[in-house]
C-alpha cells in the first residue's frame, strides 16, 4: 500500500512534466503540507522554508486565522460582480487607505495586473488633461514588474522580454540609483517614473541614501507621477509595513500583491485622490478583482499583522538574520556581500549559487538563487532565531566544503 502510494506520488512529477507547460525549472520535490515556516514533502520529509513562496506567505503556511476567515467567507458569499458593493472589499480598501499615503484602491488578482492598472492610470491621468503625448514611463534597468505585456515592457531585463517582441512602446530604462539619468530623461513626454523601492528579482538591491527622495523631488518639479512597485517589498517584508516608510517619501501610486493574501491571489493598486480621479466608470475593470472570498482573507492578513506586531518583529529578527549572514561573510571568502533590509535579504557569491540551493534542500532548507550568484532569503516573517541559526550552521558547513564551492 505504502509502495503504491509512493509510486503514485513520484508519478506526479512525471505527469506534471507531461501536462503542465514547461515554463518553470522545478526542483524535484512534491510539497504536500505546510504549517508556519515548515513544509513537508510526499516522502514525509520536513523543510524549513526561507522562501515563503517568494515573499508571499509572510504569516507562514496555512495560517489558521486566515484559513478561518477564508472558510467563513466561503460559507457566506464567494463572489458577486463588481457591479455591486460588498463588505470585505470595502473594509480591506479602507484598511489599506488608512494605513498608507493612498486615498483609493483598485483590486486586481496578481502583481502584474496591479502594475497594468498603475500604468493605465498614469497614462489616463495626462490623457484627461489633453496631454496625450505625455505617455512614456521611465523604468529601471534590472527591474521586475511581471509577465503581462505592459508589465513585461516595463521590466528592464532582456532575458524576460526576449522572444516576445514587439513589446509595448513607451518605456525608457535608466540605471537604478542614478538620479542624473532620470533627470536627463525627464521631459514632457514622460508621465511616470516606475521603480521598486528595493529591487527584488534584480538582486535585492537597496536604494542609495537620498535616491528615492531625489526622484520624488524631480517628479514634483515636473508634475510626473511616481509609482512604487511594492509587490515584493510591501506588507511588512522590509521591517516597515510599506518600504517607502523607510525613506522620507510617498509615491503617487503604489502596487501590492504577493504577501497581501498570504498565498491567495490578490493584487492592489493604491493611489492618491488626485491621480485616482482619472479612473472613472468603464476605464478599468476586473471580474475577480476584490472578490469577497479573497478580500476577506486578505483583511484578516493585515489585521493579524497589526494585532501581533509582525512588522516590528520582522525588523528585529531581520537585523539578527543579517548580522548572522555578515558573520558568515567574514568567515568565507566566497561571499562577496550581504544585502537587503528586514527579511528581504541576499548574499552575493563569487561563484554560481545553484549548487548551494540544492545542497540546502538536501539538508532540509528551502532557499533560492537569483541573478545566478545571489542567494536570496525571504522567509515568513514569523521565522525564529533558532530556525535562522540552523540555516546559518548549514550554510557555514557548505561554504567550508570545497566540492560544493566548486574549488
- Contact positions toward ligand PLP, by CB under 6 A? 110-112, 144-146, 196, 200-201, 229, 231-232, 257-258
State the minimum distance, in angstroms, from the CB of residue 247 to ligand PLP: 16
Between 49 and 230, CB nearer to ligand PLP? 230
Check 107, 124, 229, 247 and give the catalytic one.
Answer: 229
To the nearest whole angstrom, how small is the minimum distance from the Cβ of residue 147 to ligand PLP? 6
For residues 229 and 300, which CB has a smaller minimum distance to ligand PLP in the complex? 229
Could you give the maximum distance between any two Cα atoms of the chain, in Å? 71
Residue 317 grid cell: 529578527
Write down the least CB distance from residue 114 to ligand PLP, Å. 8
State in angstroms the smallest separation of the CB of 59 from ligand PLP: 18
Q: Which residue is nearest to ligand PLP (CB)?
A: 111
Complete edge-to-edge strand list for the sheet that includes strand 171-174: 104-108, 267-271, 253-256, 225-229, 190-195, 136-140, 171-174
Our CB check for ligand PLP shows the closer of 378 and 388 to be: 378
Nearer to ligand PLP, 144 or 356 (CB): 144
In angstroms, the CA 381 to CA 283 distance is 37
- Active-site residue, 258 included: yes
Nearer to ligand PLP, 212 or 394 (CB): 212
CB of 187 to ligand PLP, least distance (A): 26
Helix axes of 385-399 and 310-331: crossing angle, nearest 10 degrees: 20
Residue among 53 and 398 whose Cβ is closer to ligand PLP: 53
What is the distance between the alpha carbons of residues 2 and 42, in angstroms, rounded to a whole number?
Answer: 11
Distance of CA 34 to the CA centre of its chain: 20
Compute the least distance from the CB of residue 383 to ligand PLP, in Å: 19
144 is catalytic: yes
Q: Pick the catalytic residue: 120, 124, 258, 322?
A: 258
CB of 197 to ligand PLP, least distance (A): 9
Asked if 269 and 117 touch (Cβ cutoff 8 Å), the reply is yes
Q: In terms of CB distance, is 229 or 387 closer to ligand PLP?
A: 229
Picking from 255, 236, 253, the residue whose alpha carbon sits closest to that of residue 245 is: 236
Joined grid coordinates for residue 2: 505504502
Nearer Cβ to ligand PLP, position 227 or 394? 227
Least spacing, CB of residue 56 vs ligand PLP, in Å: 9
User: Of 238, 382, 241, which is closest to residue 302 (Cα–Cα)?
Assistant: 241
Catalytic residue, from 106, 144, 321, 365: name it. Answer: 144
List, by residue number, the catalytic residues: 144, 229, 258
Amino acid at each position: 500500500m505504502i509502495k503504491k502510494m509512493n509510486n503514485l506520488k513520484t508519478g506526479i512529477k512525471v505527469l506534471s512534466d507531461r501536462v503542465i507547460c514547461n515554463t518553470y525549472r522545478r526542483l524535484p520535490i512534491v510539497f504536500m503540507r505546510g504549517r508556519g515556516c515548515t513544509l513537508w514533502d510526499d516522502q514525509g520529509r520536513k523543510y524549513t522554508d526561507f522562501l515563503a513562496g517568494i515573499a508571499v506567505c509572510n504569516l507562514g503556511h496555512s495560517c489558521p486565522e486566515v484559513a478561518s476567515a477564508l472558510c467563513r467567507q466561503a460559507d457566506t458569499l464567494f463572489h458577486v460582480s463588481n457591479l455591486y458593493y460588498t463588505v470585505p472589499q470595502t473594509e480591506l480598501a479602507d484598511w489599506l487607505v488608512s494605513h498608507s499615503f493612498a486615498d483609493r484602491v483598485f483590486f486586481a488578482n496578481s502583481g502584474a495586473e496591479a502594475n497594468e492598472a498603475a500604468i493605465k492610470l498614469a497614462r489616463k491621468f495626462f490623457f484627461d488633461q489633453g496631454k496625450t503625448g505625455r505617455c512614456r514611463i521611465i523604468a529601471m534597468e534590472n527591474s521586475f514588474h511581471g509577465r503581462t505585456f505592459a508589465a513585461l515592457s516595463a521590466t528592464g531585463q532582456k532575458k524576460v522580454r526576449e522572444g516576445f517582441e514587439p513589446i509595448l512602446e513607451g518605456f525608457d530604462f535608466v540605471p537604478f540609483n542614478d538620479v542624473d539619468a532620470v533627470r536627463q530623461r525627464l521631459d514632457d513626454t514622460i508621465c511616470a517614473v516606475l521603480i521598486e523601492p528595493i529591487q527584488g528579482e534584480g538582486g535585492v538591491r537597496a536604494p542609495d541614501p537620498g535616491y528615492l527622495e531625489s526622484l520624488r523631488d524631480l517628479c514634483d518639479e515636473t508634475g510626473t507621477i511616481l509609482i512604487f512597485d511594492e509587490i515584493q517589498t510591501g506588507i511588512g517584508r522590509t521591517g516597515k509595513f510599506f518600504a517607502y516608510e523607510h525613506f522620507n517619501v510617498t509615491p503617487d501610486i503604489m502596487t501590492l500583491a504577493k504577501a497581501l493574501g498570504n498565498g491567495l491571489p490578490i493584487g492592489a493598486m493604491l493611489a492618491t485622490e488626485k491621480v485616482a480621479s482619472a479612473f472613472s466608470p468603464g476605464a478599468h475593470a476586473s471580474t475577480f478583482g476584490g472578490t469577497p472570498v479573497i478580500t476577506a482573507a486578505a483583511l484578516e492578513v493585515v489585521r493579524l499583522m497589526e494585532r501581533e506586531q509582525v512588522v516590528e518583529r520582522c525588523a528585529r529578527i531581520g537585523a539578527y538574520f543579517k548580522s548572522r549572514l555578515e558573520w558568515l561573510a567574514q568567515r568565507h571568502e566566497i561571499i562577496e556581500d550581504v544585502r537587503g533590509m528586514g527579511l528581504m535579504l541576499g548574499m552575493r557569491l563569487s561563484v554560481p549559487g545553484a549548487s548551494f540551493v540544492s545542497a540546502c534542500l538536501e539538508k532540509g532548507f528551502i532557499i533560492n538563487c537569483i541573478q545566478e550568484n545571489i542567494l536570496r532569503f525571504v522567509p515568513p516573517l514569523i521565522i525564529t532565531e533558532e530556525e535562522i541559526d540552523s540555516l546559518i550552521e548549514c550554510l557555514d558547513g557548505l561554504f567550508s566544503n570545497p566540492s560544493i564551492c566548486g574549488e
